[in-house]
Amino acid sequence: MPSRREQIKMTDAEVLSFLGEEKTVICATNGVSGWPHLMPLWFVVRPTGPDEASELWAWTFAKSQKTKNLERDARASLQVEAGLEYQELRGVMLEANVVIHREIDDVLALGMEIFERYTPGLGEGLSDEAKEMIRGQAAKRVAFQFVEQKRVSWDHRKLGGVY
């Protein structure tokens, strides 16, 4: 009989679907004083190749504390979770090495993706005004590429109410 851990583990497809539904990732970096620094980020999931593997990407201000922390130590832990009661809990925790992208075209492209994902009812896409605002923001930001090293996932709904 499989362990409880194996029973609640999500498949790759389930993880991808879950990340597509959720909107906020908590990013933990190593703070300068040694304490974890946790901050929420909006994110997108980008394919890494034809094998349907994917990575989380996010952006933030170049002068932010999380950027400074990642410049010093490129490791981060990420967590996305959902559910209120035990039998509903599901989530994904990733340990990742972070590549910081500073090239304006890369940061701008990511900013466009983020705004398209988080702006409901776009229909025809971003307006020229929104694109101009994102261009202005991109000049002050960096893009984070989270290269997964380890993954833990859980979906307590798979237990069918039996604990």
Going by pLDDT thresholds of 50, 70 and 90, the confidence category of residue 38 is very high
Show me where the domains of the chain are located.
4-159
Q: What is the mean pLDDT of residues 122-138?
A: 80
What pTM does this model have? 0.89
Question: Between these two residues, 5 and 101, which has the higher pLDDT value?
Answer: 101
Band of residue 126 on the pLDDT scale cut at 50, 70, 90: confident
Chain centroid to Cα 93, Å, comes to 10
55's CB contacts (< 8 A; 6+ apart) are 45, 46, 48, 145, 146, 147, 148
Please say whether the beta carbons of 87 and 162 come within 8 A: no
Residue 123 has pLDDT above 60, yes or no: no
Task: List strand residue ranges (DSSP E) for the chain, in order.
Answer: 24-30, 36-42, 44-47, 54-61, 75-82, 90-101, 141-155
The CATH number of the structural domain formed by 4-159 is 2.30.110.10
* Position with higher pLDDT, 159 vs 156: 156
